[in-house]
Amino acid sequence: MYPEDLKYSKDHEWVKLDGNIATVGITHYAQDQLGDVVFVELPMEGDSFEAGNGFGVVESVKAVSDVYAPVSGTVIEVNEKLLESPELVNEDPYGDGWMIKLEVAGESEVDRLMDAREYEAFIEEEN
């Protein structure tokens, strides 16, 4: 439910850093709270976001939810598969359900995010 190699934001996004490329998606907990995802809106390649900016929207049958950039960066790729198959966000939130790849300036912002154990504790606290 909380892969060890990811970092997590308080808005329930995950980040996987590979060099200066950060892959971003929403967590298992977030997709479970939303329910069946039926629509995803993603940014354009080249768009830049500051940490905390909304970069996209995920809609389930009942709810509309903004998705926030956990770190600052420039979009180098979006997961176009989600436009046709938004259910991937539910089925594989940490894999095929990824949303964007950001080119980030450094590791410092990523370091400030929660690790798996901290995120698990954060969810328990929220409930």
Partner 1 sequence: MKKTPLHKAHLEANAKMVNFGGWHMPVQYVGILEEHRNVRTKAGLFDVSHMGEIDIKGNRALELVQKLITNDASKLAVKQALYTPMCLPNGGIVDDLLVYRKGENHFLLVVNAANTDKDYQWIEEHAIDGVAIANISSEVAQLALQGPLAEQILQKISNKDLSQIKFFWFDYVKVDGEDCLVSRTGYTGEDGFEIYLAPDKARKVWYAILEAGKEEGVMPIGLGARDTLRFEARLPLYGNELSEEISPLEAGLEMFVKLDKDNFIGKEALEKQKAAGVKRKLVGLEMLDRGIPRTHYKVLKDGEEIGFVTSGSFSPTLEKNIGLALIKAEHARIGNKIEIQVRGRNLKAKIVKTPFYKREVK
Six-digit token string for 78: 């979006």
Among 36, 77, 91, 111, binds partner 1 (CB under 8 A): 36
AA identity, residue 76: I
Distance CA 31, CA 14 (A): 12
Among 1, 3, 35, 91, binds partner 1 (CB under 8 A): 35
* CB closer to partner 1, 59 vs 96: 59
Q: Give phi and psi for 99, each to the nearest 5.
A: -110, -55
Q: How far is the CB of 65 from partner 1 (least distance, A)?
A: 12
Q: How far is the CB of 33 from partner 1 (least distance, A)?
A: 9
Distance CA 126, CA 43 (A): 29
* CB closer to partner 1, 33 vs 74: 33
In the block, residue with structure tokens 């929660």: 114
Q: How far is the CB of 38 from partner 1 (least distance, A)?
A: 4
* CB closer to partner 1, 54 vs 116: 54
In the block, residue with structure tokens 């420039």: 74
- Segment 58 to 117, residues that bind partner 1, using CB under 8 A: 59-62, 64, 83
Count Cβ atoms within 10 A of the Cβ of residue 72 and give its class: 0-12 exposed, 13-18 middle, 19 or more buried: middle
The site for partner 1 (CB under 8 A) is made up of: 35-36, 38-39, 41, 57, 59-62, 64, 83
